[in-house]
Amino acid sequence: MQVYLDNAATTALDPEVITAMVEILEHNFGNPSSIHAHGRQVKTIIEKARKTVAGLLNAAPAEIFFTSGGTEADNMAIVRGIVDNGITRAITSPLEHHAVLHTLEELENNGTIELSLLNVDDQGHVDLHQLEQLLERGPRSFVSLMHANNEIGTLTDIEYVSALCKQYNAIFHSDTVQTMGHFVHDLNKLQIDFVTGAAHKFHGPKGVGFLYISRHTKIKPLIYGGAQERNMRGGTENVYGIVGLAKALEICYAHMDEHRHHIQGLKNYMIAQLREHVPDVRFNGDIDPENSLYTVVNASFPCTDIADMMLFNLDISGISASGGSACSSGSDIGSHVLRSIGADPKRPSVRFSFCKNNTKEEVDFVIRKLRQLCQEKA
């Protein structure tokens, strides 16, 4: 049996997405920047996709910009949002994805900003009281906080953060890569400056994403070289990817309640089974359904003598997952997220992440293999 539980890393293409992309691949090859009929036809296809995405997110089409993925979108929001608005202080958490952390650290290293890292508790909750204190103290800040952590699944109340940022005239960017397509995002209500998404996290193709830029926020391009994306992102558009992204997001919104119920059920079942069959199992991050991403379970196991081999043993058993430890080992620097929440560096941790295609039978198979591994190596 082969079980794929690494959907937080990437998801399988939805069959309807493949069909939509193949249609474009076969029949619409024109360059959307060309003024002739072939080009105009493809340009229309892109704008239709943009309108679809904007409609689902309650945004204006002019606020959606297609990119090569979440990393580019994060970089564009952070670099241009800070530089073009004369920001000298940025606030984030030590749990952010490296697309955010490394970009902010580079801006700090070159003297553009002073970077403040918020405190986090042992479940990965950000200290929002500290955030308000920093915002109140000034100067005008750039705040970047992800909606859900990609490793441990803990949610941040971005509606509350958005209100704080508005109160103190701060610019707010949220990496919503893990929650896009899994939660409803009403961007008009949220009043946020930047939001990022990546199609391959919600059963769309790799190599395409988008950046939402509020109409009230003005920045320059990150990539120059052409007038594409209304002069905001040079380079010939990934037409097939854009179509796939829009179709995938459309499917997610159409079936969100159904898929959420199914996936949350699998997560709850796996947590219960782990507690029953694996002595001293611990969970990294908040596992309360109200405070956590329903697609992710991060478990820490007691069999410390096989810490470095846990994922390998799962892999040879036919189980695809991801994870690691909080410690440094050789060239492996470990997980910055697990270190930041104080996870035991000697215990192997595994992130199991689910999607609509997973089943209870697959969870049972994984539990059996984990029991064998922990019993054999205890």
Give the residue numbers marked as catalytic.
327
Residues 6+ apart with CB under 8 A from 138: none
Pair 306, 373: CB distance under 8 Å: yes
List, edge to edge, every strand of the sheet that includes 209-213: 64-67, 209-213, 194-198, 171-175, 141-144, 89-92, 114-117
For the chain, give the longest Cα–Cα distance: 69
Q: CA-to-CA distance for 324 and 351, rounded, in angstroms?
A: 8
Q: Which helix (H) or strand (E) holds 297?
A: strand 296-300
Tokens read off for 310? 């846990």
Q: Which helix (H) or strand (E) holds 173?
A: strand 171-175
Q: Which residue has the tokens 């104080």?
A: 342
Task: Name the nearest CA neighbour of 337 among 40, 66, 124.
Answer: 124
Q: CA-to-CA distance for 23 and 18, rounded, in angstroms?
A: 9
Q: Which residue has the tokens 């042992």?
A: 122
